[in-house]
Amino acid sequence: MEKIGLIGATAIGLGAIIGAGIFVLSGVAITLSGSGALIAFLLTGFVAILVAFETGELSSRMPNVEGAAYSFSYKVFGSELGFITGLLRLLSFVAAIAAIAVGFGSYFVSFVNLPQLYAPIFSVILIFILGYITHKGIKKAARTDTVLVTFKIMVLIIFVIFGIYVGKAANISLDGFFSGGLSGIFAAGVLSMFAYSGFQSIASITPYIKGGGRTAAKAILLSVLISAILYVGVTIAMLMLAPKSAYALSGDPLSIALHAGLAPLSLSVLVDIAAMVATASATLSMIVGCELLIFQMAKDGLLPNILKTDHSGKSSQKNAIITTVLLGISFLSAGNIYLIAAISNFGTIFSYLINSFALLKIRTLENAKKHKILLASMKLSKTNIFLTPLYPYLPIVASMSLFIFFFGFPADALAGGVITILLSIMVYYFIREIKEKPIIKVRLFK
């Protein structure tokens, strides 16, 4: 298969990152925390950069796997924790596909002046079309994303310039930063992490990137840095253009900001088009990541074999793509976009946390110069490695920060995540025991 370069890989990441997070959920973040949304995007952007460093190193150490966070967990900790991480990451991808497709449907029906009742229909159509594009190959998906990403970044830059030029700096007051309290900033932080989470899509396609893990690491860092700058700029512009009360829980916050700033109709139309492009692009990246995750889990024997083979028994990703599309569509009715995003974030943050532990374990084993057999079993690459700077401090700070995020989750999403973990454990051991695998006995203490 033809491989993609740094620009294509970065486009896949930006395509996944710059989507519903900024075009749909930014207004909800401002509603929850007022000017504190700016703090949430800044802090979450910092944590996302830390996680990006870790993901970059893990991708360079395991350049031939397609499951990203799942594969890192599977190779370092084994099938049990790998299975749990994989199912949570699968849930995360599926919820993200649904959440972003909902945003597209909402913007589309508003743009063509149809009732919101028809929005789910266009969400379903979008997922089917993008599933077909994914079936045509990673290269075609990357080319599509490069075009879409370039357009939406240009539009966001225009929006930021307009907002700063026309808006009122007085709207960003010191009191406004804490209008939603600490809980509001935590809740906005959960949404912000959803906005940044798409960079894992790059890790999923590492085997298809020229230069392997090192190029993937560069693409991950580039996509997070570019999106962080854009997110902060857009949030400042939105806060300057309209007060917190104007956004409520709207699905088109940028349109509301432009209306409050008396923007010309041409700019409003341009932003609406960019919002549809952004949500379509992000949905495409999430479908790519989900399909590769399903395929890799099936290759590792943790999902049914049919998900990695076609009717003739040959290796094929078609069934994984079909499964991704059907799961994404089925999740469209899971609830409002805020709840769907929170559900997606639980699996995302859990997988990031496990990946931090994976990196700490690998480095600890290497630094101790022991357990060569254990390290060899992980089959880590020894060439073209990208190393996380300031080890072990950055991984420790990242782990602590990710754990704190769980305090900002709505109760429904938190309960759903915990239930998924428990069910994963039950299913894993049921299948394992029914296949009469050898019992593993480990002494935790001497």
User: Tens of pLDDT along 27-64?
Assistant: 888 888 888 888 888 888 888 888 888 988 898 888 88
Q: Is the pLDDT of residue 442 over 60?
A: no
Identify the domain containing residue 160 by its residue range.
Answer: 6-433
Is 192 part of a structural domain of the chain? yes
| Residue partners of 107: CB distance under 8 A and separation at least 6 | 23, 251, 252, 272, 275, 276, 279
Please name which of 83, 60, 57 lies closest in space to residue 71, comparing C-alpha atoms.
83
Among 341, 349, 342, 298, smallest CA distance to 321 is for 298
C-alpha triplet 323, 326, 330: angle, nearest 5°: 135
CATH number for the domain that contains residue 403: 1.20.1740.10
User: What mean pLDDT comes out for the span 5-33?
Assistant: 80
148-188 pLDDT, tens per residue?
788 888 999 999 999 999 988 777 766 666 666 777 787 78
Give the list of residues 6+ apart from residue 386 with CB closer than 8 angstroms, or none: 56, 57, 59, 60, 213, 214, 217, 218
pLDDT at 368: 72
> How far is it, in rounded angstroms, from Cα 10 to Cα 71?
21
Give domain status of residue 23, yes or no.
yes
Determine, yes or no, domain membership for 144.
yes
Q: For the beta carbon of residue 339, count every other beta carbon within 10 angstroms.
A: 16
Number of domains into which the chain is organized: 1
Q: Considering the domain boundaries, does residue 439 fall inside one?
A: no
Let me know if residue 148 belongs to a domain: yes
**pLDDT band per the 50, 70, 90 thresholds, residue 371:** low
Cβ neighbours around 419 below 10 Å, total: 10
Q: Which two tokens mark 337?
A: 């976009």
- Look at residue 331 and tell me if it is in a domain: yes
- Please say if the pLDDT value at position 137 is more than 50: yes
Look at residue 359 in the predicted model and tell me its pLDDT: 93
In a domain, 446, yes or no: no
Q: Name residues whose C-beta falls within 8 Å of residue 65's C-beta, 6 or more positions apart in sequence.
A: 71, 72, 75, 206, 207, 296
Q: Is residue 15 a part of any domain in this protein?
A: yes
